[in-house]
Each structure stands twice: as structure tokens, then as C-alpha cells.
Amino acid sequence: MPRRKKNEEGKADSEKNTSKEEIRKKKSSSSKKAEKYIDPDKVLDEYLNEIVNALGISYLNLSVDDLKEVLREPFASAVGEVKTKPKVSTIINRLKAMGDRLMEIISYKLLRLYDVEKLSEDQLEFIVTYGKGGLIPIMDKLYKECLKRNRKDLIDLLRVTWSMFASILRSPIKCPKCEFDSVMPDLSCRVCGYMLSMKELKNTIHVIDILQDFLKMDRDGFYEILKSGFFYYTSEGPIPPSRFKPTQGQIYFEVILNKEEKSKLESISHSILPGS
Ligand SMILES: [Zn+2]
């Protein structure tokens, strides 16, 4: 009996061994398969010059290492997971099909590689032209740099980018100095750092005119503003204090009327609504 048992154990052992071997075989064959995939970094080394010329970015004067860095990710996705190396023309077509999105990625990479102050004129221009939403968090730096280099044309482009992509940072108040829609509720400008006075804020929104228009639409609201001596200003215009409910992240301004403005508004209300 014990002998037989031994035999059975032996059999089981050998079975175990075979299955282990099979697993090993399977593993080695699958790792061999993985090795067959093309390594995009190696292909990029080989195709780099042709890609750079085809994309027309040689004027950016980047070193080979920096070029590889800015192109690595879009290049890898253009190559894909393949076992045969695609032709350079195929990759170029795929990269070109990405259009401005590719230039946008290159812009972000450039901003990661260099400080804004150290960018060449061509590089700065490229980033401002293609950077889009990624420029919003560093708009103050870019504005300062373009101002220093006297590139008003680039500042105009930055202003367009700001109004398109600043989203919750886009203010209903335009800064009188840099002319970006970037005045924050504390009256500081997010882009150029200028601090507005309450008087400047009122000049910017034409306080008397907007309240006069408001009176024509909403008589009760107007009198509430006149009585309380202040109102809230948002992208929707003036709002009487009792009706104001700020939403999260909304930019709004508390505008306090002075004596002179109040009496001006009072006489306007008498002329528009006689007998009131
Ligand atoms: Zn400003």
C-alpha cells in the first residue's frame, strides 16, 4: 500500500512539473511576442529629421533631445502598437491629421522645457499661437514677457485666447490697463496685476447708464438699489441685493454708490417716471 501511494505521489509530482513547464513555455512565448512590438522611441530616432521638416518646426531651433521630448507622445500614438515599422510617410500623414492639436501638444511640452523668459522669439510666438487653454494658468507671465519684448501683436492673440478659454476666470469687467476680461472680485487684474479703484470699476461699467437702463426694465429693483445704496454686478448686469444668489465660482462685484451717484440716479428716476 505505501509503495503504491508513493507511485501516485510521483505521478502527481511529474504532472505538476509538466504544468509548470507549460506555464514557463507560455510565458516565454508571450514575452517574445511583446518584444516584437515596435519601440516608437527607436523609430523616432530614425525618422526625426524627416518628421521635423515635414511638420515645418525646424525654425524652432530645438536640440535633438528637446525635439524628441516634444514629439515623443504624439509620435508614439501615430505609430500605434504595431509589429512592423510603419513608413515615415504614414506617420507624417497621421501626425498632420492631428492638425492644430499636435501644435498645441508641442506648445505645452515647450513650456515644460523652458522658462517663458528664456524662449526664443520664434518659440514664444509658436506657443502664443497654438497654446490655447493651456496658456490660461500662466497668462500673467506670458503677458509680461510679450510686453517686455514689445510684441503687441502677440498680446492681441493672448487676449483672444483668454476670452475663449479662461472659462470661470473670465470676468465681466475688462481691465483698463491690459484690456483682458480679467478683473477679479477684489478688483485686482489677474493678468497684469493692476489694482482698480472703485471709481475705475464704476467708469468701466458706466454705472449711471446701466442703472438708468435697469430702471426701464425693473422699477422695483432699481428702487431697492437706490435705497440700499449698493448692488451686485455680474455678467448679467446689475442685481439688487435681495435677489443676488452667487453660484459657485461666479465672479461678481459689490458696487457701492456714493452720495453724488445716488442723487443723480434719483433725479433720473424723477425725469423718467414723473410723479414717483
Ligand atoms: Zn490688467
**How many Å lie between the centroid of ligand 1 and the Cα of residue 188?**
8
Kindly report, residue by residue over 145-193, the tens digit of the pLDDT: 999 999 999 999 999 999 999 999 999 999 999 999 999 999 999 999 9
State the cell numbers at 51: 518628421
Query: Whole-prediction pTM value?
Result: 0.79
pLDDT at residue 172, as a whole number: 95
Do 125 and 157 form a contact (C-beta atoms < 8 A)? no
**How many Å lie between the centroid of ligand 1 and the Cα of residue 124?**
20
DSSP assignment letter at 114: S
Do 255 and 197 form a contact (C-beta atoms < 8 A)? no
**How many Å lie between the centroid of ligand 1 and the Cα of residue 179?**
6
**How many Å lie between the centroid of ligand 1 and the Cα of residue 197?**
13
pLDDT at residue 4, as a whole number: 47
State the cell numbers at 168: 470661470
State the cell numbers at 174: 475688462
3-state SS assignment for residue 74: helix
* Of 166, 125, 159, nearest in space to 143 by CA: 159
pLDDT at residue 251, as a whole number: 94
**How many Å lie between the centroid of ligand 1 and the Cα of residue 232?**
21
pLDDT at residue 148, as a whole number: 97
**How many Å lie between the centroid of ligand 1 and the Cα of residue 184?**
10
Return the sign of the alpha-carbon dihedral for residues 192, 112, 169, 159: positive
**How many Å lie between the centroid of ligand 1 and the Cα of residue 250?**
19
Do 234 and 168 form a contact (C-beta atoms < 8 A)? no
**How many Å lie between the centroid of ligand 1 and the Cα of residue 224?**
32
**How many Å lie between the centroid of ligand 1 and the Cα of residue 66?**
34
Do 114 and 123 form a contact (C-beta atoms < 8 A)? yes
**How many Å lie between the centroid of ligand 1 and the Cα of residue 205?**
15
**How many Å lie between the centroid of ligand 1 and the Cα of residue 243?**
30
Do 266 and 226 form a contact (C-beta atoms < 8 A)? yes
Neighbours of ion ligand 1 (CB under 5 A): 175, 177-178, 189, 191-192, 194
pLDDT tens for the chain, 276 residues long, are: 444 444 444 444 444 454 555 545 444 444 444 568 889 999 999 999 999 999 999 999 999 999 999 999 999 999 999 999 999 999 999 999 999 999 999 999 999 999 999 999 999 999 999 999 999 999 999 999 999 999 999 999 999 999 999 999 999 999 999 999 999 999 999 999 999 999 999 999 999 999 999 999 999 999 999 999 999 999 999 999 999 998 888 999 999 999 999 999 999 888 876 655
